[in-house]
């Protein structure tokens, strides 16, 4: 191994715990060349740059991992200039994700529908298949759906298939990009340039896990349980605060400042471009291991609880930072649970809060809202002051005039 290879292990901030997953994340080596042919490991020609071969950018990579281990985190927004590896990192994420069970039916029937509602929950063909013990799903690798910037609202949510309508004189609702992203990753590059109505539709569908489209008399409800990842270059315009708030985690991505790290990036990218198959083979075993770790972390996640100290620290932090959005603690606590799960622990403690708080809480404070509430407080104080003044004038005045008279004085005398 070259001496120029950075010792990435030492660059992990101390707040980050050593964990199986994070150790794997840190592996700059993973030089074990597998003898197995790449296709046996599910490596396709189009396999993206390996997630583990990314250099540095630990916070971005941890945030991405937490969001796929626990989708309740609410996605990730990557903020930074061009060329810092944001898109490469997002594209590489699919390589460490376990396969998903997808429906083989055009209607999207799943065994869980049958489990919940019986035969009425699936289409007649699927009901028949299930009765015969024929599976209605197959395992597929997770896909990254990239939202084109010029996508129209009907591309995103789906609509009437005009081609079929014209050719076959038949109206059919088509699933949109959101439904196709179900169980996958949805990536919006330059999310700050996206039209408001589309951004809102995506965020609503992402939060609800499903959405309904109405076209005249036709209604379609689709699943949309995807992990949303956005990226933006702040030089090209700001994101509306309400959209910013809806991303669970926010990471500021800078270019690497360390020369040896930059050199390593150059070498790896060059190796990947020169002979991607060989490069991927080199990383294959580490990727398989990481996929296994993600799988284990996901299995553990439902059992992970937060300690009372962790909850108290998180809530106090929110209070001291003057953060209004309740999404802040939700994202922070869910990210802390994912962090503990990645570390193989069933309890998330203050160390997990420390590790995830910056990404969950940054950019949540609004100078405008702080000022707004401060002014509101002043106004409220002024209102109360006037109430007190009026009360004193109208109520105290008569009671003051009556103070010398009957009611109070005899008691005083009586008691003394
Ligand atoms: Zn079906």
**Candidates 91, 180, 215, 327; catalytic one:** 327
340 in a structural domain: no
Q: What does the pLDDT read at residue 20? A: 61
How many angstroms separate the CA atoms of 361 and 44, rounded?
38
Pairing of strands 210-215, 158-160: unpaired
Distance 126 CA to ligand 1 centre (A): 4
Ligand 1 ion: Cβ-proximal residues, 5 Å cutoff: 105, 107, 109, 123, 126
How many angstroms separate the CA atoms of 230 and 246, rounded?
11
What is the domain-level CATH number for residue 31? 3.40.50.300
12 in a structural domain: yes
Q: What does the pLDDT read at residue 358? A: 93
Distance 142 CA to ligand 1 centre (A): 21
Distance 181 CA to ligand 1 centre (A): 18
- Category of 61 on φ-ψ map: left (φ > 0), alpha (ψ -120 to 50) or beta: alpha
Q: What is the CA radius of gyration of the chain?
A: 28
- What domain range is 272 assigned to? 8-301
**φ, ψ (nearest 5 deg) of residue 42:** 75, 20
384 is catalytic: no
List Cβ neighbours of 134 (8 Å cut-off, separation of 6 or more).
none
325 in a structural domain: no
How many angstroms separate the CA atoms of 104 and 255, rounded?
43
Distance 302 CA to ligand 1 centre (A): 29
Question: Domain total for the chain?
Answer: 1
8: tokens are 């990435």
193 in a structural domain: yes
Q: What does the pLDDT read at residue 23? A: 65
Distance 303 CA to ligand 1 centre (A): 32
Q: Where are the alpha helices (DSSP H) in 159-238?
A: 162-168, 177-180, 196-208
- Category of 237 on φ-ψ map: left (φ > 0), alpha (ψ -120 to 50) or beta: left
Per-residue pLDDT of the chain (416 residues; tens, 9 = 90+): 333 333 434 444 444 445 666 666 665 433 333 333 334 444 444 678 999 888 888 899 999 999 999 999 999 999 999 888 899 999 999 988 989 888 888 878 888 888 888 888 888 999 999 889 899 999 989 999 999 888 888 888 887 777 666 777 766 677 788 888 999 999 999 998 888 889 888 988 888 888 888 877 778 888 889 999 999 998 888 888 878 888 999 999 988 888 998 999 899 999 999 998 899 898 888 888 889 999 999 999 999 999 999 999 999 999 999 888 899 999 999 999 999 999 999 999 999 999 999 999 988 877 777 788 789 899 999 999 999 999 888 876 655 444 444 444 444 444 43
175 in a structural domain: yes
Give the global pTM. Answer: 0.79
List Cβ neighbours of 129 (8 Å cut-off, separation of 6 or more).
135, 136
List Cβ neighbours of 109 (8 Å cut-off, separation of 6 or more).
103, 121, 122, 123, 126, 136
Comparing CA positions, the residue from 320, 322, 350 lying closest to residue 336 is 350
**φ, ψ (nearest 5 deg) of residue 138:** -140, 160
321 in a structural domain: no
Comparing CA positions, the residue from 287, 308, 293 lying closest to residue 341 is 293
313 in a structural domain: no
72 in a structural domain: yes
Q: How many CA atoms lie within 13 A of 97 on its CB side?
A: 28
Q: What's the start-to-end Cα distance of the chain, in Å?
A: 96
Distance 123 CA to ligand 1 centre (A): 4
Q: How many CA atoms lie within 13 A of 336 on its CB side?
A: 28
Q: What does the pLDDT read at residue 244? A: 85
How many angstroms separate the CA atoms of 154 and 211, rounded?
13
Distance 133 CA to ligand 1 centre (A): 14
Q: How far is CA 383 from the centre of its chain?
A: 42
């Amino acid at each position: 191994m070259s001496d120029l290879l950075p010792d990435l292990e030492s660059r992990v901030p101390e707040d980050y715990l050593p964990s199986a997953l994070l150790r794997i994340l840190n592996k700059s080596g993973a030089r074990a060349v597998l003898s197995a042919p790449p296709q046996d490991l599910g490596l396709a020609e189009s396999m993206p740059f390996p997630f583990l071969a990314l250099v540095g950018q630990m916070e971005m990579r941890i945030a991405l991992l937490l969001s796929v281990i626990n989708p309740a985190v609410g996605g990730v927004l990557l903020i930074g200039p061009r060329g810092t590896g944001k898109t490469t990192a997002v594209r590489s994420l699919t390589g460490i994700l376990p396969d998903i069970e997808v429906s083989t039916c055009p209607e999207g029937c799943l065994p869980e529908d049958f489990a919940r509602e019986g035969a009425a929950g699936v289409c007649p063909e699927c009901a028949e298949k299930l009765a015969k013990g024929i599976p209605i799903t197959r395992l597929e690798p997770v896909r990254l759906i990239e939202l084109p910037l010029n996508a129209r609202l009907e591309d995103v949510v789906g609509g009437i298939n005009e081609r079929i309508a014209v050719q076959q004189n038949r109206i059919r609702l088509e699933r949109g990009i959101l439904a196709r992203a179900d169980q996958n990753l949805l990536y919006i590059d330059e999310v700050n340039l996206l039209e408001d109505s589309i951004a809102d539709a995506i965020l609503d569908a992402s939060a609800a896990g499903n959405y309904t489209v109405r076209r005249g008399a036709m209604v379609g409800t689709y699943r949309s349980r995807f992990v949303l990842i956005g990226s933006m270059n702040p030089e090209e315009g700001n994101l509306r605060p309400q959209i910013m708030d809806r991303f669970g985690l926010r990471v500021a991505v800078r270019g690497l400042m360390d020369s040896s790290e930059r050199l390593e990036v150059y070498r790896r990218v060059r190796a990947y471009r020169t002979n991607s198959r060989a490069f991927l083979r080199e990383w294959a075993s580490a990727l398989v291991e990481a996929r296994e770790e993600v799988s284990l972390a996901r299995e553990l996640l439902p059992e992970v609880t937060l300690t009372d100290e962790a909850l108290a620290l998180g809530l106090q932090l929110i209070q001291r930072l003057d953060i209004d959005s309740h999404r802040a603690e939700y994202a922070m606590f869910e990210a802390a649970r994912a962090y503990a799960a990645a570390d193989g622990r069933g309890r998330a403690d203050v160390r997990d809060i420390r590790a995830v708080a910056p990404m969950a809480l940054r950019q949540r404070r609004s100078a405008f809202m702080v000022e707004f509430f401060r002014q509101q407080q002043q106004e409220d104080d002024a209102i109360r002051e006037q109430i007190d003044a009026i009360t004193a004038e109208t109520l105290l005045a008569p009671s003051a005039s009556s103070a010398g008279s009957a009611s109070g004085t005899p008691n005083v005398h009586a008691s003394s």
